[in-house]
Structure 1
Amino acid sequence: MKKANRLLQETSPYLLQHAYNPVDWHPWGEEALTKARTENKPILVSIGYAACHWCHVMEHQSFEHESIAQVMNDNFVCIKVDREERPDVDQIYMDAIHAMGIQGGWPLNVFLNPEAKPFYGGTYFAPQQWVKILQNIAEAYRNHRDELDNSAEQFTEHLNLSELHKYGLQQSESDFNEADFQQLFNSLSARFDKVRGGMGQAPKFPMPVNYAFLLRYYHLTGEQTALDQVVLTLQEMAYGGIYDQAGGGFARYSVDADWLVPHFEKMLYDNGQLVSLYAEAFAVTQNPLFKEVVYETVAFAQRELMSAEGGFYSSLDADSEGEEGKFYVFKKEALQEILGSEEPLFSEYYNITEEGNWEHGVNILHRKTSDEAFARDHKLEVNELKRKVAAWKSKIMAVREKRVRPGLDDKILLSWNALMLKGLADAYKVFGEPDFLTLARQNAQFLLQHLRLDNALFHNYKNGRTTINGFLEDYALLIQALLALYQITFEENWLTEAKKLTDYTIRNFYDETEELFFFTDQTSEKLIARKKEIMDNVVPASNSVMATNLHFLSLFFDQEQYFQLSDAMLAKVKPLVVKEPSFLGNWASLYFLKIKPTAEIALVGSEAESIRQVLGRQFLPNAVLVGTTTDSNLPLLQDREPVNGQTTIFVCYNKACQLPVHTVAEAMEQINQIGN
């Protein structure tokens, strides 16, 4: 019988996967670090996550083998880290790997001295190579300790360089002009794949923040190429294998340039952001495909990722039964059995072939054309085709229900939940679907009840336990989601909570010397470096989200210092945003907000909610919306009453108000005159 190691006491599914390895794994913490110092041993930190394919491979090939584990245990204090639980630890040692000139990724394996300072590392290693590296490092540590320590000191100095210094960012003037904004778009558009959508070549990641920016750029300038690239990309993704054609929801990325072959893991953070993006794109285009994607993706998240308590789990693995994608793919003969006489039409619709469109003779369901075009080519009514497709999906899902499911990472992360919460709020705003609002309220209540203590947040939750203090991403993304939730409900408690969390964040994360926020709370564990997150990635940088929150909160609460701080933060990174917008897409959307004044739209009267519903269907990215049916102490609603007993709309900019009006059409005319 296998003997458990210390990881058996953890809640992270990734750590629990390694609980019966013969490696004497420790979780990250003072016990392991003290052991290294006491025994004067180097530390091996191995970082991954539950849905990571190559993490599983390295575990099976190396960490499950007694002989390899013996080498690790004899020579190192071995620490396993779930990067999703400890992004602060992952960020530091990933930066260290990059400083060593190594391409980063997961699994991430880094060797540290007993002071937790890194001197060597890499990603995946094959078993023989891994043993050789372990032996070489153990020998070097015994015989050349001074050299390794000197190297570790140099890497640690590099890690403590500020992000602003690293990118040569010294400018701090709040000069946001349309010429630089145009240059920003030109820099981004140079990377467009105008044939299959997305940016650059394979692999392709969704990167929702870039397309959210393009929608805003189009809204401000009317530049058709910006909108065309969004529509092309969102359509190609929705047609491709990266989208689960039967069950809804997106995989993490496509390994090819055509969005056909996904890396099959499904992450909550992608799907939350893509719900927001497709909802916004529908508001701009009215494309029915985008609505279908929103509804199916929300259904996927509710069905496969939502806990009974109202939180969303983190991810689904790429693998099942040891094979990547096995849960999702089909051979043609299996489809003939499932669909009978309908199979030929199904196979044309989803591009199924006898030899398979992927490896080992299997097929990934994907589309190449719209329902309208397919129906026309096959002499079908569109509604008849849609009925057939719905029936096909039901049959496919019924078969999948009998298959071995991919592994579920059932930890609940606050920041990722906040992205799905905002997705639900954005979807409700555009579509008015009551179920979306019910899910959003349920999720928000769960997060505030279980992952908050006073005004401080926790990052993780599982089995009733919260074990890790919140990071800046948790605060920033939850504040963002609460602002969205207020604007679809006019329930002021959400806005109040957002302000409390903002004030806590300023007190505990803000660095006045650089006018940016640290990633960790000043009360959190002290690591060898305290980082700031600037670059927008698959999840937007916590500083860019916080700067945007401050912009909007300054209007909700008439707090000029919030506005000035938002300006200062953007000014710090502005040269990089203009030059490299594909890595700072969310900052680019904040730049959009600074070009023209933000509209303050106040609804007062008994019909405030019904007017809000109509306004919500408009794409108004540069506006804040407040409302009440009675009275309110919010600055934007004070001294505002219905005019002539009718529900009244007040539109203001820069503390100057237009004449009060009573219809959405009149309000939109005022908004469009200012150029929102």
Structure 2
Amino acid sequence: MNRLANETSPYLLQHAHNPVDWYAWGDEALQKACDEDKPILVSIGYSACHWCHVMERESFENETIARRMNELFVCIKVDREERPDVDAIYMEAVQAMGVQGGWPLNVFLMPDAKPFYGLTYAPAQNWYNLLGGVREAFDTNREQLRQSAEGFAEHLNTSELARFNLTEGDPIFALETVETMYRKLATRFDTEDGGTGRAPKFPMPALYGFLLRYADLTGDASAYNQLTLTLNRMALGGIYDQIGGGFARYSTDRHWFAPHFEKMLYDNAQLLTLYSEAYTLTGNALYRDTVYGTIRFMERELLSPEGGFYSALDADSEGVEGKFYTWSAEELQTMLGDDFEWFEKLYTITDEGNWEEGRTNILHRTETNPAFADQMGWTAEKLETKLAYTHQKLMAERDKRIRPGLDDKMLCSWNGLALKGLVTAYRVFNEPDFLQTALRLAFFIRQKLTDSRNGGRLWHSYKMAPNSMPGRAKQLGFLEDYAAVIDGYLALYQATFNEDWLTEADRLAQYVFNQFDDVKTENSDAPHDPLFFFTDKSGEELIARKKEVFDNVIPASNSMMAHNLYTLSLLLDRPQYAKRVDQLLGQMQSLLEGEANYLTNWAALYAIRVRPTAEIALVGPDVQAFRREIDARFFPNKVLAGTEGKSGLPLLNLRTPIDGRTALYVCYNRACRLPVTSVDAMWEQVG
């Protein structure tokens, strides 16, 4: 076993038996490279990465290749999910070299950790030859490589202001600007199968969160149609586990049929929020079923005994991608008997198999439950009964199979996303179990991922220990951890009106200002940049300190913080928070108008700001009943504050029930209208 045996990351532990003399990222390895004047090989991946496993089998488990790696380099293995800061730096460096990014990411560094060459997957013989070539270049062309590495390091340290030509300015919130953003996005829509572009297709929840808000804001039928087309196809396609619930990371084809079977917590967490919100706009029962199925999957396969959620499930089992999830027609016929005939039609099963891996089938659908029931001449209730029976049978059989590997580390940011998703589902569907799971998760974050001995800062990663030993939290939290957890706490406050969660959200926001802000020295001529750094100023100093701007499969931490600060500014009357939001949006506006494809969570906040946000205060004995009635309707331009008695919160202070009845106060920009005692009357005031 190598040094990785002492790590907590399942991905690093997977490599603990490699003959490669791996180090984890840290001072020991970096100092060794300097002391021995040796180049560094950093190999970055994650536990559910298919091609990472392939490269391990072909190269890192090969004694001959490992011997060459050990002789020529200091070899460092990095879990990108545990160290997103390291991954972001070297991914950007490789892209600057003209290489398309991806994982496994293999980067060669000078002894001072500055990169000079990188690539993704390489077959074993190519990798063996490359190792020798890179080391020879290091030995014979050191000065040239040094200059190249200095150039890449200089690129990495170029500010976002300079790189993207961001300038200070006041945001101009105009409907025309939002329409410009939408038109830019619409040029990439697949109007036949949903999503954007061709293949592969990723769910991209932030994009459809923007479409939700844009369709609601403008009434644009094309936006509504693209939104519902995409959500329908994803929920019916193979990317969604039709038997067990939950979404795979992406579809390898344009039809959402054949997934890359790994299941990630961050996708499923965000899709809970998206499908729950979409249900309030559309009333589509498919979206409700998708939310319920996804939560069942998360609780069954990702929920830890301590209340936090594990990170991911592998795509492979027994060395075969998708083996756990696919079926032969013969298997299904044997198990289902008379039910096979209709099941075969609904899930498009064929004897030859509908997937490339032999005679196997991916279960996917083209018909919704109501449409298929009509086709078969059944009632909706009859189909539901049959589906429950057959799914239960198949799940019992599937549970006998060898399971995909589980990445059982718990990441703070992803659990924050899960908290938001669970709370949103509770607010929409009023399922008490959803709230109980959410509360248990929130307490897990406070107890296991919050460092109470050091000012209540967050940890990024937590791993349970075997044999009931205390678990281990490690790695100082990143901006994404604070942004996601604050968002989850704000949602939880607006669902429960327990002010502890609002207080904790504000405390974390103040920590962000103290530790992540780009504070200029008094003598600096550089303009103030309102974007926050990704890393805590108390954390490890890398070759560059980055800021996350662009939204991806997870929104940028800066865009999440902008949403959070806007909500906090309204709930707590924090003008300084509102000012920072305007600075951020003002700086981003020109980029938003030109590059909305990569800034959809920013665009969603911009769309909210086009019209005033309703500050709704509920006071009296029925605040929860009124809250449920309000949350049943899609209306993102609101914040909710509530109390059954008295509260010192700005929106609730000095507000009282009316003749013992619960009162609703609608306020805009701190000016309130006359209180009313029904939600219908409240909606009339909101307009």
- Note if 1:120 corresponds to 2:123: no
Q: Secondary structure at the match of 1:362?
A: coil
1:250 correspondence with 2:247: yes
Are residue 649 (structure 1) and residue 647 (structure 2) matched? no
Deviation per CA, 1:80-113, whole angstroms, max 9, x where unpaired?
Answer: 0000000000000000000000000000000000
Which of the numbers 524, 534, 538 marks the counterpart of 2:549? 534
Give runs of aligned pairs for residues 233-632 of structure 1, distance below 5 A: 233-359=230-356, 360-453=358-451, 454-463=455-464, 464-512=471-519, 513-632=528-647
The corresponding residue for 1:668 is: 683
Q: What is the deviation of 1:173? A: 2.4
Secondary structure of the structure 2 residue equivalent to 1:289: helix
Contact 2:205–2:274 (Cα < 8 Å) also in 1 = yes
The percentage of aligned residue pairs carrying the same residue is: 56
The alignment partner of 1:635 has SS state of: coil
Aligned-residue offset at 1:275: 0.4
Deviation at 1:163, TM superposition (A): 2.0
- Quote how far apart the aligned CAs of 1:572 are: 1.3
- For residue 139 of structure 2, the aligned residue among 116, 136, 142 is 142
TM-score by length of 2: 0.97
Distance, in Å, in 2 between the alignment partners of 1:630 and 1:171 is 44
Distance 2:368 2:139 in 1: 65
Q: Per-residue displacement from partner, 1:276-320 (whole Å, max 9, x unpaired)?
A: 000000001110000000000001000000000000000000000
- Secondary structure of 1:632 counterpart: coil
Deviations 1:11-42 (A, max 9, x none): 00000000000000000000000000000000
C-alpha contact (below 8 Å) 2:44/2:105 kept by paired residues: yes
- Matched AA of 1:224: A
Letter in 2 for 1:51: A
Give the deviation of 1:418 after TM superposition: 0.6
CA distance in 1, matches of 2:342, 2:515: 60
1:625-664, Cα deviation, whole Å (9 max, x unpaired)? 0000010111100010112221100001111211110000
1:232 is matched with: 229
Distance in 2 (alpha carbons) for counterparts of 1:37 and 1:472:
30
- Matched position secondary structure for 2:439: helix
Residue 35 of structure 1 is matched in structure 2 by 32
* Length, aligned pairs only: 669
Distance 2:175 2:678 in 1: 32
Partner of 1:106: 103
The SS at the match of 1:459 is strand
Deviates more, 1:257-266 or 1:218-227: 218-227
Supply the AA of the counterpart residue of 1:458: W
Q: For structure 2, list consecutive stretches of 5 or more residues without a partner in the other structure.
A: 465-470, 520-527
> TM-score w.r.t. structure 1 length?
0.98
Q: Which residue of 1 aligns with 2:11?
A: 14
1:367 & 1:383 partners in 2: Cα distance? 19
1:416 is matched by which residue type in structure 2?
W
Deviation of the 1:171 alpha carbon: 4.5
SS of residue in 2 equivalent to 1:467: strand
SS in 1 for 2:203: coil
Match of 2:206 among 206, 209, 219: 209
Give the counterpart letter for 1:499 in structure 2: D
The runs of 5 or more residues in structure 1 that have no matched partner are none
Q: Deviation string for 1:355-401 (max 9, x for gaps)?
A: 11101111000001111221122222221111111111111101110
Pick one of 153, 158, 172 that aligns with 1:156: 153
1:94 is aligned to 2:91? yes
Of 519-528 and 180-189, more deviation after overlay is shown by 180-189
Contact 2:168 2:583 in 1 (8 A): no
Secondary structure in structure 2 of the residue aligned to 1:483: helix
The code of the aligned residue for 2:329 comes to K
Aligned-partner residue type, residue 99 of structure 2:
I
After superposition, the C-alpha distances for 1:122-180 in whole angstroms (9 at most, x for unaligned) are 00010010011100011111111111111000000000111232222224222222221
SS of alignment partner, residue 361 of structure 1: coil
- Whole-angstrom distance in 2 between the partners of 1:450 and 1:94: 30
Query: How big is the alpha-carbon RMSD for the aligned residues of Structure 1 and Structure 2?
Result: 0.8
**Structure 2 counterpart SS, 1:438:** helix
Indicate the SS of the match to 1:311.
Answer: coil
Distance in 1 (CA, whole Å) between partners of 2:197 and 2:481 is 30
- 1:638 counterpart (646, 650, 653): 653
1:226, distance to aligned residue in structure 2 (A): 1.1
Partner-residue secondary structure (3-state), 1:516: coil
**Which residue is 2:49 aligned to?**
52
Per-residue displacement from partner, 1:236-271 (whole Å, max 9, x unpaired)?
A: 001100000000000000000000000000000000
- Residue of structure 2 in register with 1:83 after alignment: 80
CA distance in 2, matches of 1:457, 1:172: 33
CA distance, structure 1, for counterparts of residue 369 and residue 532 of structure 2: 47
Matched residue type, 1:441: L
Distance 1:329 1:52 in 2: 19
